[in-house]
Amino acid sequence: MDKCGIGIDIGGTEIKAASFDLVSGKMLSKETAPTQDGVFSDGVPAFVGSVKGLVSDLLSDLNQELSVIGVSAPGLVQKNERAIGYMPGRLSGLEGLDWTAALNMDIEIRVINDAHAALLGEVWQGSARCMDDVIMLTLGTGVGGAILTGGKLLKGSIGRAGHLGHMTVDFEGEPDICSTPGSIENAIGNATITERSGGKFSTTHELVAAYAQGDEEAKEIWLRSLRALAAALVSLVNVIDPERIVIGGGIAKAGEHLFGPLEKLVREREWQPDGKVVTIVPAELGYWAGTYGAVYNALLRG
């Protein structure tokens, strides 16, 4: 009997869960449920019950042997990969929650950081298939990231590696949420767009739409953000030496208005030994990337 796996991606507002054929990587079925952050039942976070329900629904649709289950969530993962060890400020009850025990299943459930999962998903079935050296950035409210080097996910000593949004591009800039001065997250993340535009735009979507229409003020704001992003990318290229840079997240939906000027800016600044350049591509898996990466991580660790 063919084997399959289930990937679960826990977000701040919604939980995504999907089943996959582990040989082809094909998604077989998918489900979603609200996260209900802050809601508890008998001391247990409501999202635990939601995950149990999603897994039950997916299992009812399967006629294949369940081999692995993986969970993706924000925060720093414990060394044993059974729980998120550090996630302050949101998803109350997630810290220290042992998912194998919580779901009470015979399969050991592997946990991975959500940005790490997105990159592994792209390496398995997305825009970085079969590559060993890849950087991924997700551009949205904030800026997330992950690094694959030598075929291995870079995690660091406490799981902090890959927080690329908290790289400094202005050493005299204001500190971000991690106390990093002048970070790339503050330079392009949607959370700071009102401040960066002097109140003219409330979302990056509005900014890019105005840029596309030839608005000179929008052009100045947008290209300043892209220059900061390009500086971060060429720095990462010099440190990590990736084959490819994958960019995802809501801001990546800007398409050519992002990738066109960004590639030009990177090429002008990139060190190109023997003419070698790094390709910059959009992520392919989008909304479901975390489920792909969660199940792939469990498969690799299984």
CATH of domain 130-283: 3.30.420.40
Mean pLDDT for the stretch of residues 110-134: 96
The beta strand positions in 204-243, using DSSP E, are none
CA pair distance 117, 94, nearest whole angstrom:
17
Mean per-residue pLDDT for 119-128? 97
Q: With 80 as the cut, is the pLDDT of residue 25 above it?
A: yes
What integer pLDDT is reported at residue 228 of this predicted model? 97
Report the alpha-carbon angle 38-42-44, nearest 5: 50
Phi, psi of 216 (to 5 degrees): -70, -40
Dihedral over alpha carbons 129, 188, 190, 159 (to 10 degrees): 50
**pLDDT on residue 6:** 97
Residue 1 has pLDDT above 50, yes or no: no
Sequence ranges of the domains in the chain = 3-120+288-301, 130-283
Read off the pLDDT band of 76 (50, 70, 90).
very high
Give the percent of the chain with pLDDT over 90: 89
- Residue 195 forms beta bridges with which residues? none
* pLDDT score of 39: 94
CATH fold match for the domains 3-120+288-301 and 130-283: yes
Q: Is the pLDDT of residue 302 over 80?
A: no
Q: Which CATH architecture has domain 3-120+288-301?
A: 2-Layer Sandwich (3.30)
- The reported pLDDT for the residue numbered 64 is 80
Q: Quick check: helix, strand or coil at residue 67? A: strand
Q: Is the pLDDT of residue 12 over 90?
A: no
Q: What is the pLDDT of residue 128?
A: 97
